[in-house]
Structures are given as structure tokens and as C-alpha cells.
A and B are shown apart, each in its own frame.
Chain A
């Protein structure tokens, strides 16, 4: 996103120049293995390791956690993460593997953890040395998140956790989990508490992680079972019974509506795939110019041209929405645009990849295991994977309820 044309503060301008310079010399080269579309699709340990090296180098250079306090491993800057993100996008770097840590765990830990816990956990989170996962969803608690059944029972100074989490991305690699669970069965919302849990060291000792296979055929997310796992009280976030409030901090950041900008890199295309960047309309146009449907160049099809332009308009509008969200005089409700972001972003990617299907015509039947697949079959994979995010983090149907209720003031649909 070409945000570099907006005026920076002096601190931002200096930091931007620093980032650009550092990235010129330190941006990773081509990876030795196939890197998937995003961190949530990571299944190859070699890919993870390569990405962890990149995240650590970016953290050591000060490009990760820029706006977090220094004592928590951050850079102590003002509104500079967005600058680092823009420059990393501009440099087309790889993405960061610790996406749940950066986007959800870090702000939650910062705002709600005890001081020692905070300072112990955040530096290794930012560096990517620790990978984090999120233990929210359960078999009976998807869109109805507060219906948590995983139970934490206080025994002495510790907590004993029993329960079952599902759709847990990255749990197979994760050292830590942010965990929402029940501490009081009598009160649906006020009976929830929030913990950070060291899961990797407890595998086989109260924690079982089993892979779930996605409809794409990839692994990447899991079910996690807790059987009498003992967790120290210092890993409780905020008060007992305040779990729902803490979870809202996580969710507002997950949905792009939080106080802190998530460190985010990306934009890399790979020479060792056929180079499809499946989140970019310009890549879609390239695909249309080189694809045939019904024997004719897809880019000449007037109906497809219209679809491509519609989605480009949505992309530009999203960009300009982010800009307008910061201008109080031009917004009616402070959360009106931030609460739209998850919905708009995920549906944008889904619809973009769906157009790619139509562009490819008969060749849209081909997948990653076919050498003739346009763009390496990545568009088809992206389309299928897009449902992960239109469902996760509060299905988009729930997002529309939230917008209708909190922003438009309509009655609750429950």
C-alpha cells in the first residue's frame, strides 16, 4: 500500500529512512524451501526456521515491536510500527512466522499481564524465538466464544486445566498459548479467565497436540487437549473472572481494530514457485493477461474486466478508509471503520482469488501438484484458504452482528 506519500512526523521520517537503509542491506534472499502464503499455513519446520531467522534479524534491528515499551523489549517509539511495516512491504520481505504472538498475544500481554511476566515473555515473542498460538475456539465455542467449557480449577497457588481446544493454528510449533477458559460455571461471561500457558514443555505432561487437516490438504492447525495441566498463577492475565474483557483486547487487535499496530512484513514473491502473489490485484491482472478462457485471453473479457476493476476499487477504498479512520472530522463513530477491517480484508482476499478461478477457465482445475497450473496453482490454494479467515476470529456473520449492534445501534441478534 502506497502510504509513503503521506506526511510523516520527524521521528517517523528518520525511522523510515533507517528502515529503508537496513532493509536494503539485510533483506533475506530466496528461501531454500517453499514458503506458504502465510504463517497460518506453515507446516514445514525448515520453512519455519528460515522465517524465524528473518524475524529475529528484523527484531534485532528494531523493526518489530517499535511502539512497545523498551523494558518489554520494544523500541519505545511513537507510531513507528506502521512505518516499519510499510517499508518491509515495500522491500517485499518474507512474512513473520509468529503472527499470533505479534498480532494477538503481544498487546494482550502488554495490557493485562503481571509486570515480570510481561518483560520475560515479550522479547522472545518479538524475536520469533517463541512461537505463540491461540486457545480460544472449542468444539462448542466457535462464533459463540463465551460458551467456553475448558475449565481451570484453583489448587493451592496453581491452576489445573482440563479441556479441548480446536482449530488452533501453529500449536504444532508453538511454545506458548494464550488461553481463554472457564473458572466459574455459574456465569457465562464473568466466569471466564485468561492465561498464558507454556504448552511445548508440557507436551506429554498434560498437553496433547494433534494436527487437523484443512480442506486444502495442508496441515497447520490442530486440536489441543488439556488433561490436568498445572499452570502457575503468575501466568494469569488480569483478575479471575475478567477473561472476557481480556479476550476483547485480543480480538480487537486480531480484527485490526486495536490500539497497537501489529508488526507485519510480507510481499515477497518466490522464484522457486511460479511467483503468484495471491493478495494483489496487479498479480490478478498479470494472470488475466496470460490466461485463456474458452480459447480467448481472459483480460479481454468485458465481464471479467468489470470484476477486476470492482475489486481494485475495493482495495483503494480500504486504503483510503484507513486514512480517513484517523480524521475525526470525517467519521461519525470512532469504531465504524476499525471494526470493518477484518470483514473487508478477508472478503477482499476471498473474492480476489475467486475471480482468479474465473480468469483461468479450464486451467482453474489444476492444483499445486500440476506443472501446468497457472501461477503454480497458488490462486486455487488461496481461494480455499481464504475461508479460514472469513470463519476465524469471529465468523464474518458475527462481525456483521457486531457492526450492526455496536456501530449502527441495532438490537442484539441473540
Chain B
């Protein structure tokens, strides 16, 4: 059995990085400011916008966040995955509109490609270039082998769907099929033949698009037949990092709702006196703690086992983390709206920003039922 550090590998460097992220978000990203930034237009039929602060992105790249999980050999800092989780957790707590999670996810995929071309892209990420993955088909399949994009004679054709932070990303890693299997390809977001069609989404802290490729010349980062393998190896890290985002957002929802329950008076008492409010909020806390422990354990399992000797256990922990975090995200959001009462149902209350981010997150890379179905096949065996 692989020896894992008792502290999940979360040492002094990781703590310092996380604390600097806490400070960054408290200095620059209050919920009040976020609301003014992204919630200016409540119109359901509003134009589809992509709102983010490129200046803040510049700052976080200078703080080394995008370089954190890029291997040193590719010009990064080579920190463990738990460091990325801490950053994602803080970003979630601030519902930070940025391509940080997409760029992390792209990093995790490129790290599994083991090619010079992939390392070149990783170096650009370390330098601060935002990236995203274009790997999902129109049917919303999370399986690495499914894609609606094809590659032939070095040119991409087809459409990738549900691409996250698509209009913030400057580069895309695209999964595409040829007769030899699924490969991965890098294209600049502004390359000729790339058409980004923004999706009208609920989450105000993100942008999403479907992207059409028409005869796009692309750089191969993983060969046909190796692309889906690289994706499969990256999925546990992706699931863990999204779970961490949900943990951070869940904690914001919890603490904000507790604060409201402690100050809002009805029947001559603060709401929090009533166990009908108090006990479900405790249940939210229990759920957040489960999700957090599972996410860090999954990340630590990945960090501790580079040879993948206990890969099945790692995969299991990551599925568990994403499943638990997805359910928690829904629960924490729904209780936050409900316990804010009438004000919680309004646009002016900040809760909806986090509610919508959580509902988006819970679906990304598979919701709870999706992951539990996979776990059932792994742990119980296939059903007859």
C-alpha cells in the first residue's frame, strides 16, 4: 500500500499559497463588488455577456497560480494537486469569475499527454495564458472517448459543446476522433476556422459556449488513441478541483446564511434559535466537511501515487468527492435561499450568485448520480 502523508501533503508552502489567496479575494472580490460586476442586468433575455476582470487575472498569474501545478520541467512550480484544490476552494468561496478552473483542468490533461507539444502549451499556462478544454459532445457525455469533432489530415472539423470559460480562454485543447482513435489537439482560440458561439447560461460567474471548428489546423498534443487515455487519467484531478470550488462556495453559503439567521428576528427571536433552521444548517456543514475531506483525500491519492499503483482507489475517491460535493452544492444552495426567506428570493440578495454557480458546478463533469452509478459498477459489480 502506498504511504500517504497524514496531512494530505498540505504543508507550509500550500498553506502560504492558500492564505495569500484568501487575502487576495478578501482584498479584491467581495460579494458586494461581485454583484455590481456581474449582476447588472437581470433581464432574462439579456445579451449573452462574458464579464470578468482581466486585471485580476494578470495579478493571479503573477502570484503563480496558473504555474502552481505545471511541472517544473515545463516551466512551472510543480506543486502538488492539493495546492490547486486550495486555490479552487478560495475561488469558489469568492465565486470568482475567471478561467482559473478551466486552466487548471487543461493543465491536468496536458500533464498526462507526455509530449513536447503538450509541454510547450503547459509553459504558456505557467506564463499566465488562460486555457480551456473542448472535449464534450452535444449530448453532454463526460466519457473521454465521446467527441463530435473529427481530425483528418491535421485539420479539425465539428463542434465541441459545453466549453467552459470559452470566451476567456486564449487556447483550447480539443478532443477529436480519427480512424486511429481519439487524440488531443491544441488550437489558439482566435485561429482561423474557430467559431465561438456563446451559450445563454444561468451562472453569472462563468461563460460557456459551443465551438465549431471548420478546417482548423491544430497541433497534436496526444496522438490518436492516446487522447482519451490522457483524459481518463486527468479526470480524477478535474473532479477533485471542481469539488473544491463547490466546497468553497458551499462554505460561503453556509456562513452567510448563519449570519443572516443570527440577525434576522421573527417571533421575537433570531431565526437561528429555531431548530427548523439550525439543524438543516448543521446538516449543510456536515455535507461540506464530507466533500472537503473526500476532495483532499482524492488529490492526495493522486499526488502520492505517480506510478498509479493504486489507481482504482484514486478513481474511487475522486468519484466520491465529486458525487458528495455535487449533492452538497445543491443542498447548501437551496437552504441558503430558503433560510434567507423573501429576500433570498430576490435578485438583490447575493445568494443567487453562489446558488447559480453551485448548480452549474454540480453538473460539470458529471452530477452525483452519474458518479454513483460508476461507483456502483466498481464497488458492487455490474448489474445483471
A binds B: yes
What is the interface of chain A, defined by CB distance below 8 A to chain B? 2, 4-7, 285, 288-289, 297, 299-302, 305-306, 308-310, 312-314, 316-318, 320-321, 323-324, 326-327, 329-330, 332, 336-337, 340, 343-344, 397, 400-401, 403-405, 407-413
Asked if B312 CB lies within 8 Å of chain A CBs, one says no
Q: Within the complex, what minimum Cβ distance (angstroms) separates B379 from chain A?
A: 6
**Chain B, Cβ-Cβ closest to A340:** B286
B323 contacts chain A at the CB level, 8 A cutoff: yes
Q: What is the chain A residue whose CB lies nearest that of B9?
A: A327
- Minimum-distance CB pairs A-B, first 6: A317-B290, A410-B272, A320-B293, A305-B376, A404-B278, A300-B383
Contacts of A5 in B (CB 8 A): 1-4
Known A-B contacts A409-B258, A410-B261, A411-B269; A323 and B379 likewise in contact (beta carbons under 8 Å) = no
Residues of chain A with a CB closer than 8 A to B283's CB:
400
Distance in Å from the Cβ of A98 to the closest Cβ of chain B?
A: 30
B258 A408 Cβ-Cβ under 8 A: yes
Does B340 lie at the interface of the complex (its beta carbon under 8 Å from any beta carbon of A)?
no
Chain B residues near A6 (CB, 8 Å)? Answer: 3-6
B285 touches A407 (CB 8 A): yes
Residue ID in chain A nearest B254 by CB atoms: A408
Contact A299 B380 (CB under 8 A): yes
Which of B8, B272, B294 interacts with A327 by CB under 8 Å? B8
Other A-B contacts than A313-B375, A324-B289, A409-B258, 18 sampled, CB-CB below 8 A, are A288-B380, A305-B380, A312-B375, A316-B294, A316-B297, A316-B320, A320-B294, A327-B6, A327-B7, A329-B18, A330-B296, A400-B279, A400-B283, A403-B282, A404-B281, A407-B285, A409-B262, A413-B278
Question: Within 8 Å CB of A340, what residues of B?
Answer: 285-286, 289
CB-nearest residue of chain A to B327: A310
A7 to B376, CA, bound (A): 30
Tell me, rounded to whole Å, the shortest Cβ–Cβ distance linking B220 to chain A. 38
Name the contact of A400 in the complex, choosing from B7, B10, B278 (C-beta under 8 A): B278
Least Cβ–Cβ distance between A86 and chain B, in angstroms: 13
B interface majority secondary structure: helix
CA distance A310 to B327 in the complex (A): 10
Closest to A4 in B: B1
Tell me if B347 counts as interface (CB < 8 A to partner A).
Answer: no
Asked whether, in the complex, the Cβ of A330 is within 8 Å of the Cβ of B279, the reply is: no
Query: In the complex, are the beta carbons of B10 and A302 less than 8 A apart?
Result: no
| Alpha-carbon separation in the docked complex, A101 to B324 (Å) | 37
Tell whether, in the assembled complex, residue B278 and residue A410 are in contact, meaning their CB atoms are under 8 Å apart.
Answer: yes
CA distance A6 to B3 in the complex (A): 6
Q: Are A404 and B279 touching (Cβ within 8 A)?
A: yes
A313 with B384: CB separation less than 8 A: no
Interface centre among B18, B282, B372 (most CB of A within 10 A): B282
Interface range on chain B: under 10, 10 to 19, 20 to 34, or 35 or more? 35 or more
Q: How far is the CB of B262 from chain A (nearest CB, A)?
A: 6
B343, CB-defined interface residue at 8 Å: no
What's the Cα separation between A344 and B281 when bound, in Å?
15
CA distance A68 to B16 in the complex (A): 36
- Chain B positions within 8 Å of A, measured between CB atoms, are 1-8, 10, 14-15, 18, 251, 254, 258, 261-262, 269-270, 272-275, 278-279, 281-283, 285-286, 289-294, 296-297, 316-317, 320, 323-324, 369, 372-373, 375-376, 379-381, 383-384
Complex Cα spacing A385 to B291, Å: 29
Residue from the list A309, A327, A405 in contact with B372, Cβ < 8 A:
A309
Are A317's CB and B320's CB within 8 A?
yes
- Are the CB atoms of B294 and A305 closer together than 8 Å? no
> Which of B2, B4, B5, B7 has the most chain A CB atoms inside 10 A of its CB?
B7
Q: Which chain A positions have C-beta within 8 A of B369?
A: 306
Whether B278 contacts A401 by the Cβ 8 Å rule is: yes
Return chain A residues, CB-CB under 8 Å to B278: 400-401, 404-405, 408, 410, 413
B contact residues around A301 at 8 Å (CB): 383
Q: B280 — nearest CB in chain A belongs to which residue?
A: A400
Nearest-CB residue, chain B, relative to A321: B293
Contact partners of B297 in chain A: CB under 8 A: 316, 320, 323
Question: Contact partner of B15 among A7, A329, A343, A404, CB < 8 A?
Answer: A329
The CB with the most chain B CB atoms within 10 A, among A309, A314, A340, is that of A309
Is B293 within 8 A of A313, CB to CB?
no
| Shortest Cβ gap from B278 to chain A (Å) | 4
* Residues in chain A near residue B324, CB distance under 8 A: 313, 317
Residues in A neighbouring B15, C-beta threshold 8 A? 329
List B contacts of A2 (CB < 8 A).
1
Is there an interface contact between B296 and A324, defined as CB atoms closer than 8 Å?
yes
Known: A323-B297, A330-B10. A306 touches B272 (CB 8 A): no
CB closest chain-B residue, reference A412? B273
Kindly list chain B residues whose C-beta atoms are within 8 Å of the C-beta of A300.
383-384
Q: Which residues of A contact B317 (CB under 8 A)?
A: 316
Question: Is B281's CB under 8 angstroms from A410's CB?
Answer: yes
Which A residues lie within 8 Å of B272 (CB)? 404, 410-411
Given that A316-B317, A337-B289 are contacting pairs, would A408 and B14 also be in contact in the complex, using a CB cutoff of 8 Å?
Answer: no
Contact of A324 among B285, B292, B323 (CB under 8 A): B292
What's the least CB distance linking B9 to chain A, in Å?
10
Q: Is the CB of A326 within 8 A of B6?
A: yes
Is the pair A314, B281 in contact by a Cβ cutoff of 8 Å?
Answer: no
Assembly CA distance A326 to B380 (angstroms): 31
Instruction: Enumerate chain B residues within 8 angstroms of A324, measured Cβ to Cβ.
Output: 8, 289, 292-293, 296
Chain B contacts for A403, CB-based, 8 A: 282, 285
Assembly CA distance A301 to B384 (angstroms): 9
27 example contacts (A-B, Cβ-Cβ < 8 A) are as follows: A5-B1, A5-B3, A7-B6, A285-B379, A289-B380, A301-B383, A305-B376, A312-B320, A312-B375, A313-B323, A316-B317, A317-B290, A320-B297, A321-B289, A323-B8, A324-B296, A327-B10, A340-B289, A344-B286, A400-B278, A400-B282, A401-B279, A403-B285, A408-B281, A408-B282, A411-B272, A413-B274
A309 touches B275 (CB 8 A): no
B275 touches A400 (CB 8 A): yes
User: Residue on A with the closest CB to B323?
Assistant: A313
Q: How far is the CB of A217 from chain B (nearest CB, A)?
A: 32
Residues of chain B lying within 8 A (CB to CB) of residue A317 = 289-291, 293-294, 320, 324
Q: Which residue of B286, B290, B291, B293 contacts A323 across the interface (Cβ within 8 Å)?
A: B293
Shortest A333–chain B CB gap in Å is: 10
Task: Compute how far the CA of A142 lies from the CA of B324 in the bound complex, rounded to whole angstroms.
Answer: 34
Assembled-state Cα–Cα distance A321/B287 (Å): 11
Residues in A with CB closer than 8 Å to B373 are 302, 305-306
Q: Do residues A306 and B281 form an inter-chain contact, with CB atoms below 8 A?
A: no
User: Nearest Cβ distance between residue A348 and chain B, in whole angstroms?
Assistant: 11
| Nearest-CB residue, chain A, relative to B369 | A306
Q: Complex formed: what's the CA distance from A344 to B297 in Å? A: 19
Interface centre among A308, A320, A401 (most CB of B within 10 A): A320
Cα–Cα distance between A145 and B360 once the two chains are bound (Å):
45
A411 and B286: CB pair below 8 A? no
Name the A residues within 8 Å of B291 (CB-CB): 317
* B8 partner residues in chain A, CB cutoff 8 A: 323-324, 327, 330
Cβ–Cβ < 8 Å partners of B3 in chain A: 5-7
A404 vs B257: C-alpha distance when bound (angstroms) = 12
